[in-house]
Chain A
Amino acid sequence: MEKKQRIGVYICHCGGNISDYVDVSQIKDIVKGLDGVVVAKNVMFACADSNQKEMVNDIVDQKLDGIVVASCSPKLHLHTFRNVAIRAGLNPYNYTQVNIREQCSWAHSDTPSEASEKAAGLILAGINRVSHSEALENIEVSSTRAAVVIGAGVSGMRAAIGLSQMGNQVYLIEKEYKPGGHIARWGEMFMDGKTGDEIISALLTKVKSDKNITLFTNAGIGKVSGSLGNFDVEVRISDEILNLKVGAILVTTGYDHYQPAIGEYGYGELSNVITLPEFRELLNNCGDTLNYQNKKVNSIAFIYCVGMRQTKGENKYCSRVCCTTAIHSSLLVHNKFKSVLVYHLYRDIRTYGKQEVLYEQSSKNGDIYLKFDEKIPPKVSNSKHRLLIQVKDELTRKQDLELETDLVVLVTGLVPGKDTAELAGKLKIPVGNDKFFNEIHPKLRPVETVINGVFIGGSCQGPKNITESVQSAMAATVKINALTKNPTIQLEPVIARVNFDTCVWCGKCAEVCEYDAVHPLEMYGKTVASVNEAVCKGCGICAPVCPNDAIDIAQYSNAEIEGMIDGFSEKVELKESAESEDEQSAVTGAEMKDQPQLWLRISASLQKESKTIPALVKELDVPANVLTYHLMTMNKYSLVEADGMDDSDEYYYYRLKNIQHDQN
Chain B
Amino acid sequence: MGNQHTRPRILVFSTDKISDPGIDQAGLRKIHYSPSVYVISLPCSSGIKPRWIMHAFNQGFDGVFIAADGHECSYSSKCPEYTNMIIEESQRLMKEANISPKRIRMAAICSVCAEPFASHMANFTRILAELE
Q: By the criterion CB–CB under 8 Å, are A540 and B43 in contact?
A: yes
B47 touches A544 (CB 8 A): yes
Contact of A540 among B35, B42, B77 (CB under 8 A): B42
With A514-B75, A541-B46 known as contacts, the answer to whether A107 contacts B17 (CB < 8 A) is: no
Interface size for chain B: under 10, 10 to 19, 20 to 34, or 35 or more residues?
A: 35 or more
Are the C-beta atoms of B52 and A122 separated by less than 8 Å?
Answer: no
- Residue pairs across A and B with Cβ atoms less than 8 A apart, 23 shown, are A102-B27, A104-B27, A107-B32, A109-B32, A111-B32, A114-B1, A117-B35, A430-B74, A430-B77, A438-B74, A445-B17, A514-B76, A537-B75, A539-B75, A541-B82, A544-B49, A544-B50, A544-B85, A558-B49, A558-B52, A561-B52, A569-B9, A574-B2
In the complex, are the beta carbons of B43 and A538 less than 8 A apart? yes
Choose one: A116, A441, A564; the contact of B40 (CB below 8 Å): A564
> Is the CB–CB distance between B59 and A115 below 8 Å?
no
Whether A549 pairs with B18 at a CB distance below 8 angstroms is no
* Complex-state Cα separation, A429 to B115, whole angstroms: 30
Chain B residues closer than 8 Å to A565, beta-carbon distance: 11, 40, 52, 55-56, 59, 61
User: Which residues of the other chain, B, contact A558 by a CB distance below 8 angstroms?
Assistant: 49, 51-52
* Interface check A277, CB cutoff 8 A: no
* Per-residue contact bits, chain B 69-98, to A (CB 8 Å; 1 contact, 0 not): 001101111110010011001000000000
Partner of B17, one of A101, A110, A441: A441
Q: Could you tell me the distance between the alpha carbons of A102 and B71 in the complex, rounded to whole angstroms?
A: 26
* Complex Cα–Cα for A437 and B79 (A): 18
Say if the beta carbon of A633 comes within 8 Å of chain B. no
Q: Is the CB of A562 within 8 A of B39?
A: no
A588 to B47, CA, bound (A): 45
Q: B13-37 toward A: CB 8 Å interface, digit per residue (1/0)?
A: 0000110110111111011110110
Distance to closest chain A CB from B7 (angstroms):
8
- The answer to whether A108 touches B46, judged by C-beta atoms less than 8 angstroms apart, is no
Interface residues of A in 152-166 (CB under 8 A from B): none
Pairwise interchain contact B52-A562, C-beta atoms closer than 8 A: yes
> Contact between A544 and B86 (Cβ–Cβ < 8 Å)?
yes
Given contacts A99-B24, A544-B50, A544-B85, could you give 9 more A-B pairs where the C-beta distance is less than 8 Å? A102-B25, A104-B35, A117-B4, A514-B75, A540-B43, A543-B47, A544-B48, A568-B11, A574-B1
A539 and B1 form a contact (CB under 8 A): no
Residues of chain A in range 107-130 having any CB-CB distance to chain B below 8 Å = 107-111, 113-118, 121-122, 125
Q: Would A108 and B61 be within 8 Å (CB), given that A539-B43, A540-B42 are in contact?
A: no
B24 touches A75 (CB 8 A): yes
Q: Tell me if A556 and B24 are in contact (CB < 8 A).
A: no
Q: Within 8 Å CB of B76, what residues of A?
A: 514, 539, 541
- Which of B3, B56, B85, B111 has a CB less than 8 Å from the CB of A114? B3
Q: Does B44 contact A (CB under 8 A)?
A: yes
Minimum CB–CB distance for B32 against chain A, Å: 5
A16 to chain B, nearest CB (A): 14
How far, in Å, is A502 (CB) from chain B's closest CB?
14
CA distance A109 to B96 in the complex (A): 39
A432-B20 Cα distance, complex, nearest whole Å: 20
- Which residues in A have their C-beta under 8 angstroms from that of B52? 558, 561-562, 565
Nearest CB in chain B to that of A429: its residue: B74
**Which residue on B lies nearest to A122, using beta carbons?**
B38
Minimal beta-carbon separation of A442 from chain B (angstroms): 8
Chain B residue at minimum C-beta to C-beta distance from A109 = B30
Given contacts A514-B76, A541-B75, A565-B55, contact A102 B50 (CB under 8 A): no
Q: Would A569 and B48 be within 8 Å (CB), given that A106-B30, A441-B18, A556-B42 are in contact?
A: no
Q: Are A103 and B48 in contact (CB under 8 A)?
A: no
A109 to B48, CA, bound (A): 30
- Tell me if B59 and A569 are in contact (CB < 8 A): yes
Given A99, A115, A449, which contacts B35 in the complex, CB threshold below 8 Å?
A115
A107 to B10 alpha-carbon distance, docked (Å): 15
Which residues of the other chain, B, contact A121 by a CB distance below 8 angstroms?
38
Provide the residues of chain B in CB contact with A574, threshold 8 Å: 1-2
Q: Are B1 and A113 in contact (CB under 8 A)?
A: yes
When distances are taken between beta carbons in the complex, the residues of chain A under 8 Å from B111 are 441, 443-444
Chain A residues lying within 8 Å of B42, measured Cβ to Cβ, are: 540, 556
Contact yes or no, B35 A512, CB < 8 A: no
Which 7 pairs of residues, A with B, have the shortest CB-CB distance? A540-B47, A102-B27, A114-B35, A107-B27, A539-B75, A106-B27, A102-B24
In the bound complex, what is the Cα–Cα distance between A539 and B45 (angstroms)?
A: 9
Taken together as a complex, chains A and B put the C-alpha atoms of A561 and B43 apart, in Å, by 13
Chain A positions 55-80 with a Cβ under 8 Å from a chain B Cβ? 73, 75
Known: A539-B43, A568-B38. A512 touches B24 (CB 8 A): no
Q: Does A566 contact B (CB under 8 A)?
A: yes
B59 touches A566 (CB 8 A): yes
Whether the Cβ atoms of A571 and B4 lie closer than 8 Å is yes
A491 CB, min distance to chain B CBs, angstroms:
14
Binary flags per residue of A571-600, CB closer than 8 Å to B gives 1, else 0 = 101111000000000000000000000000
Q: How far is B35's CA from A109's CA once the two chains are assembled, in angstroms?
A: 10
Contacts of A118 in B (CB 8 A): 35-36, 38
